[in-house]
Chains A and B, each alone.
Chain A
Amino acid sequence: MKKLVQIENVGQTFDTKLGTFTALRDINLEIAQGEFVSLIGHSGCGKSTLLNLIAGLTLPTSGAMICDGREIAGPGPDRAVVFQNHSLLPWLTCFDNIYLAVESVFGKKEGKAKLKQRTHDALELVHLAHAETKFPNEISGGMKQRVGIARALAMSPKILLMDEPFGALDALTRAGLQDELMRITAESGATTVMVTHDVDEAVLLSDRVVMLTNGPAATIGEILEVKLPRPRNRLELAEVPEFAHARAAILDFLYRKQLKKAA
């Protein structure tokens, strides 16, 4: 399969008041076209830092990052980000939030009608066509996150980057959105990297689960391939041995090998 993202020997340090802080070291990872990869690890291990590096929001202090044959030199709409707190602009309606993204990506090539159609389609994809005139503070947390996903997908990105997208939601809403995300990625064939701290979520959604060691100076500890056939159904999976096996492997890594001493 075609390699979309290549991360080679990437390290990230930050200058702080107390000196240099090494967040990540020796990260080597390749992500294939159409793959769903989860980044999992204890809080503070640098999962989000790695995602921000792929997004180009921060640049690595060492190593090389390549997306689709080009070095990642900054953020861009080919790598759409779904932020943890959805980051919808509160003064724009759901429609306008997405339209802003669509316009900035396709505005030069396409007319207004086409741009509006794209916006409608994106909202339709997350089943929120009825809420397009609503402002973000008028809809629920789950709906906001769906608008955030729609905004990212509307840009037709090469890769979808999600930073704990469902972290702030209750368990039922979260399950519904996970199912929806599975449907959407299956329909669009989107390549996805998702940061999570939820083991079940990682196994259910991913083709591969990348496990990070504890920070500081975190790196990739293990990579687990989840060989479950798609489409996956959360109710049936509970009884599949491979699901239990994958779950156990991640739990073993997180709670035996990487148990946080302080926690």
Chain B
Amino acid sequence: MPPALNPNPTAEPVPVARPTDRPTHLAVVRDARPAKDWRIPMNNIARKVLPPLLGLLVLVAIWHLATMRGGSIPGPLQTWNEAVRLFADPFYQNGPNDQGIGWNILSSLKRVGIGFGLAAAVGIPLGFIIGRFQFTAGMLNPLISLLRPVSPLAWLPIGLLVFKKADPAATWTIFICSIWPMILNTAEGVRRVPQDYLNVARVLRLSEAKVFSKILFPAVLPYLLTGVRLSIGTAWLVIVAAEMLTGGVGIGFWVWDEWNNLKVESIIIAIFVIGIVGLMLEQTLLLIARRFTHENV
């Protein structure tokens, strides 16, 4: 036997020389894998975290450079200090027009919640009816097309007139703006329920209630949740504007109030707070939607 075949006789016998084995590149692949294993997660984390962090940093840097020389807009540090002060006591109450930022956020969220909840209670069943029956679709679709492009704020005076109070009028505005995406997406979902599933229901002679609970509702749920997500997004956009007009307690009113006090730091803080709350609402609903999405197999 030529000694060249096994250059390292003390080591474990290398199975490369066996005729049944594949060529040596297999061993190379095996060696490469552990190295890849730790590199990939590091890369992934870096790839996910680094760009957003860098983006934020650039924004703050530009902000800092733009406000370095003074002027009416406060710089990042000044704003940060004000934010720390504000959030140190978010739930103070000094009368109806001077409350902590926590109260303002909560009352805005409450209005959005009520308006949106009512819109869901009306819009989702309406969406099912429109999707299921051609006749109602013919009846309501032109109305929806007509009313949907109207800015929800245009409905605010009607709300003020009917409810005689600012608070329900703001809620009413939220109701109007968040109902459309829910109606339209639910109706679209109903229209897209695969005919096969409905045929299964027909062969099994399922009752209407069973068809709804076992087939229609689960099939429509992903569409419905998309509608809910769009609605919440719009509602959160609109609440700020509505509260600026109606006053009271709320993040929108707070922005306006701080503008009147010429506290620009607070306005910038409010912009960030509104953005972060909106982002959180969106992400929560995305998470829920992912949980209830079934791939059509």
> Which A residues are within 8 Å of any B CB, using their own CB?
55, 57, 74-77, 79-81, 83, 85, 87-92, 100-101, 104-105, 136-137, 144, 155
Contact = CB atoms under 8 A, between A and B. Distances in A.
Nearest to B210: A104
Given A100-B204, A136-B297, 15 more contacts: A75-B199, A75-B205, A76-B205, A77-B204, A79-B203, A81-B199, A87-B197, A88-B297, A89-B214, A89-B215, A100-B206, A100-B210, A104-B204, A144-B297, A155-B204
Contacts, number: 56
B203 A77 contact: yes
A90 B294 contact: yes
Given A90-B295, A136-B297, A137-B297, A85 B204 contact: no
Interface string B163-192: 000000000000000000000000000000
A89 B199 contact: no
Nearest to B295: A137
Interface size class of B (residues with CB under 8 A): 10 to 19
B200 A87 contact: yes
B203 A81 contact: yes
A155 B205 CA distance: 12
17 contacts: A75-B202, A75-B203, A77-B204, A79-B203, A85-B196, A87-B196, A87-B197, A87-B199, A87-B200, A89-B214, A89-B215, A90-B294, A91-B294, A104-B204, A104-B205, A104-B206, A137-B297
A90 B200 CA distance: 13
Nearest to A74: B202
A88 B297 CA distance: 8
Contacts of A89: 197, 200, 214-215, 218
Chain B interface SS verdict (over half): helix
A75 B297 CA distance: 24
B220 to A, nearest CB: 11
A92 B203 CA distance: 18
A104 B203 CA distance: 10
A67 B185 CA distance: 42
A90 B193 CA distance: 12
A57 B294 contact: no
Nearest to B207: A104
Given A75-B202, A89-B214, A83 B294 contact: no
Residue with the highest number of chain A CB atoms closer than 10 Å, among B199, B203, B294, B295: B203
A77 B200 CA distance: 10
Nearest to A138: B297
B225 to A, nearest CB: 14
Contacts of A100: 204, 206, 210, 214
B89 to A, nearest CB: 47
A44 B215 CA distance: 29
Residue with the highest number of chain B CB atoms closer than 10 Å, among A55, A83, A91, A144: A91
Contacts of A57: 199, 202-203
Contacts of B294: 90-91, 137
A141 B185 CA distance: 31
A76 B203 contact: yes
A76 B200 CA distance: 10
B190 to A, nearest CB: 16
3 tightest A-B CB contacts, nearest first: A90-B294, A87-B196, A91-B218
Contacts of A85: 196
B221 to A, nearest CB: 8
A75 B218 CA distance: 23
B260 interface: no
Interface in B254-297: 294-297
Nearest to B217: A91
A27 B133 CA distance: 35
A33 B126 CA distance: 48
A137 B294 CA distance: 9
A92 B214 contact: yes
B192 to A, nearest CB: 14
B205 A83 contact: no
A90 B296 CA distance: 6
A91 B291 CA distance: 11
A85 B197 CA distance: 11
Contacts of A91: 218, 294
Contacts of A87: 194, 196-197, 199-200
Contacts of B295: 90, 137
Nearest to A90: B294
A183 B275 CA distance: 64
Nearest to B294: A90
Nearest to A148: B200
A55 B204 CA distance: 11
